[in-house]
A and B are shown apart, each in its own frame.
Chain A
């Protein structure tokens, strides 16, 4: 869940040039988010053996932490598909 100022900017630019934008673009969703949302929904509707195999492809995120003096700092998880 999240808003994409970039998505809205693109939608407004497209509207200004006269091109019609997709409903998801108008609402602030980027194509990446739309495409991955569609993929998640298809995976959720699968039958059992394929479903668990597909679950591995679901989460896309970045986990990072700073190291100081040989000690790992706090782990920060960033969801790459926020917008």
Chain B
């Protein structure tokens, strides 16, 4: 009964408040309802329309805490959960000092929001390095080494990446997404040499037998294992 009465009051109140002007409320309404009515006047609504996302979220939370029970935390908004969408920088804004790197794997997060100087990625069209101010790019990665220079040439982390994509955005944030990324120390040199020999032999036999699919699978093996071999310095 209370909720129905409140809703009816709100409906009536909105109309009345518009007619009466700001600050005039219904007699007998609770303090929360009165504050709600005051804020839903045309003046309050126009203000809301002009606010940006962060400001409107703060305005919502401040109004919410006025009427919410003290034990209930405010609700989360998508901005709290997801990393911000890349915004284009204003024309003439300075290039940021550091690159923001996100390195995602299906099962893990290798880096999130890390401030780095340079990221070298092995793209299908050739290796390239991403520094702050790089042109926005989408690059398909081939099996190879991703080097992250937290400090140029001083603090370098290397991962061998099986394949994936790299995205460079307008605000100098970079997303590298790979299926498998392993630190170079985790690669077994003996297994790499053996695998390379095995797939080279398979490629020879499959291409001679004319089986396209098997030849392609063997060629994938040669590509991946020779990249691992090169990464280990052979």
Contacts and interface: CB of A to CB of B under 8 A. Distances in A.
* Interface majority SS (helix, strand, loop, mixed), chain B: helix
B226 to A, nearest CB: 11
Interface string A22-44: 01101111000011111101111
Interface stretch (B66-74, B79-87, B215-223): B215-223
A34 B163 contact: yes
Given A41-B224, A43-B180, A44-B195, A29 B217 contact: yes
Interface string B190-234: 011001000000000000000011011101110111001000000
User: Size band of the B side of the interface?
Assistant: 20 to 34
A44 to B, nearest CB: 7
A36 B179 contact: yes
A27 B228 contact: no
Contacts of A36: 179
Nearest to A47: B188
Interface of A: 1, 3, 23-24, 26-29, 34-39, 41-47, 50, 54, 57
**Ordered nearest first, which 10 A-B pairs have the shortest CB separation?**
A27-B216, A38-B162, A39-B179, A39-B180, A27-B212, A42-B162, A39-B162, A41-B224, A45-B191, A38-B163
